[in-house]
Amino acid sequence: MTRFILVRHGETDWNKEHRIQGHADAPLNSDGIAQAKSIATRLSDINLDAIFSSDVSRTRETAAIIAAGRGIEVQEMFDLRERNYGKWEGVTQAEWESTDPEGFAHWKRAPETYVPPGGESLQQVHERTVQAYNYISQNQPSDSTVVVVGHGAALLVLTVHLLQLPLKVRNNFNLSNTSLSVLDVGQDFTVIRLWNDVSHRGISIP
């Protein structure tokens, strides 16, 4: 059994502004850095065997703060990136809705069937995140504890895959910035031990 500790990246200015990030390389803001430090403290007493991260700034910075002082090199993976939102990256949700109300409504209602112009389908995200998971699981001993620092959509897609659920079920889950989620993954089962916990940030989930 491998323990997967899933951590969504810390906050960016684009998060605060409700801008679509996708593959865009928005760095952590000061709050995001503080959040990353808080999750690093939360994990400080846990022995970690490996740390994997998406290869954009907000995840790399979060992972580096978690890895500091551990002697573990963060392994960056393109396949752990957020969904590519194409044309809508850098646009606020309000701007997107006013520009393309039909497409925006489709995305909010059924993101698994919406494909942004120039972007990825959720199925494509599923294929590459599963590819990342397969690489990690094949290259770590079965009793490892592994941290995966990623993005909301990509981590949710990975989660429903591990739970053997359809893609649309990801809409029933949420991940806050630097939330802590723990999944124990065996050969034919996955157990959620903790989900979207942000108690290390001194707040509770509404």
Percent of the chain's residues with pLDDT above 70? 98
Has 9 been annotated as catalytic?
Answer: yes
For residue 19, the 8-state DSSP code is B
The pLDDT value recorded for residue 187 is 86
Q: Which among 11, 23, 61, 82 is annotated as catalytic? A: 82
* pLDDT tens digits, 143-189: 999 999 999 999 999 999 999 999 989 889 999 999 999 999 998 89
The pLDDT score that the predictor gives to residue 206 is 47
Residue 97 has pLDDT above 50, yes or no: yes
Q: Is the dihedral of CA 66, 69, 70, 72 positive or negative?
A: positive
pLDDT tens readout for residues 98-153: 999 999 999 999 988 999 999 999 999 999 999 999 999 999 998 999 999 999 99
pTM of the model: 0.94
114 contacts 51 by C-beta, under 8 angstroms: no
CB atoms within 10 A of CB 203: 9
- How many Å apart are CA 128 and CA 83, to the nearest integer? 10
Q: Is 23 a catalytic residue?
A: no
